[in-house]
Amino acid sequence: MNRTLFYICCCLLLLAGTIQAQESSVQIYDGTTLKVGDVIQAGYKPSTFQYNFIKAMTGNYLQNYKEDIGLSELEITGIKSTDRTYTSSIKEAILTVRELSTGKEFFIDINNAIEKGEVVAKPAQRLYPDAKFLSDDLLLALTLRVNKLPVTDKEVLFLISLKDKDLYQKCRANEFEFNSVKADYTKQLEDMMNNFDFASTYYIDNQVTIGKYDFSKNGYPINFIGNEKLGFLKYGDYNFTLTAKELSCFIPVSQEYGNEVNKRGQARSSYISELAYGRFYLKPLDKFIELEKSDIMNMEKLYRATLIGADLVGVEVYDFKHCDYNFIGSVK
């Protein structure tokens, strides 16, 4: 009898310890509080291989999850604190979540997952949801058109490289292969030039520098101009000369949310990162842009083939290069 009573007491103590380890809410490092029942979003895999802080049970073992569940909704079903610390003031916590679309269970090391973008901290907020991506083939057609440049074999080969990598290699190796498709791809490029849609809004994603929070204006100054003297927004091999670029040099953000942004940017570092990424919304101009004269360099030779005039109609700023989540702020 005593042995049975002892066994029951041990079980009750063990159960009490298990319940004590479970939490109903947790504050993560950016200051946000998550509760059981909340729905969060998964981010993208940090590599082609696996998530590092999202795990699933395989047999009797937890293993890093290998399939991409980016942007799927995850309901928090359990929160367990650990003995580890993320920072001196924030303890690590493991979330148990259920993917709403499949019912699959995952276990998330939440602070590390948010820091690395494996869990979304703030969804995207699109200024122009229907904007079109200004892809490399559109940029090629646009620069040729607005700068009144001829379509040469070089441009046709570049278009082929964008459309069909295998065909491009064949054309590079065999001039007869290129000649057999040259007329078709030349026509494609000329049609893109002639029919470019200047009425639509387009977007590009590009790196920006974000300054310290300005408490007098409530927001962040940003800088994205690659050449301060000329005022160009450099994007890959292209240079945009922008109208109304002054609207985009400051991103209004409330002090409350700015505190979260700073904590996200700092994570466990001793400084707040100045690196951010912008989604730039543009309306290209069907216009030949005049370049300043220079006695030092041949401006026409340097920039003519890459120059595009555009109205800048809005900017969104994000933590990550893909600009799909971890929104900081926007202006239009």
pLDDT of residue 115: 95
Number of Cβ atoms within 10 Å of the Cβ of 262: 16
Specify the domain boundaries for CATH 2.30.30 within the chain. 2-115
Q: How would you write the pLDDT of the chain (332 residues) with one tens digit per residue?
A: 455 554 444 444 443 444 345 789 999 999 999 999 999 999 999 988 999 999 999 988 999 999 999 999 999 999 998 888 898 888 899 999 999 999 999 999 999 999 999 999 999 999 999 999 999 999 999 999 999 999 999 999 999 999 999 999 999 999 999 999 999 999 999 999 999 999 999 999 999 999 999 999 999 999 998 766 778 899 999 999 998 777 779 999 999 999 999 999 999 888 899 999 999 999 999 999 988 787 667 888 888 999 999 999 999 999 999 999 999 999 99
Maximum separation of any 2 CA atoms in the chain, in Å: 102
Q: Which backbone phi and psi does 247 adopt, to 5 degrees?
A: -65, -25
Q: Which is nearest to 85 in space by CA: 28, 43, 32, 31? A: 28
Please state which CATH class domain 2-115 belongs to.
mainly beta
pLDDT at 303: 87
* In contact, 150 and 304? CB cutoff 8 Å: no
Question: Quick check: 137 and 159 in contact, CB under 8 A?
Answer: yes
Are 199 and 296 in contact, with CB atoms under 8 Å apart? no
What pLDDT score does 196 carry? 98
Helix 136-146 / helix 175-194 crossing angle, nearest 10 deg: 70
Contact 153, 171 (CB under 8 A): no
Q: Tokens at residue 86, please? A: 């993320």
- Look-up: residue for tokens 């985009």? 248
269 contact partners, CB below 8 Å, separation of at least 6? none
DSSP, residue by residue, 223-242:
E--SBTTTTEEEETTEEEEE
Q: Is 235 exposed, middle or buried (0-12, 13-18, 19+ CB in 10 A)?
A: buried
According to the model, what pLDDT value does residue 83 have?
84
Give the pLDDT confidence of 191-225 residue by residue, as tens digits: 999 999 999 999 999 999 999 999 999 999 999 98
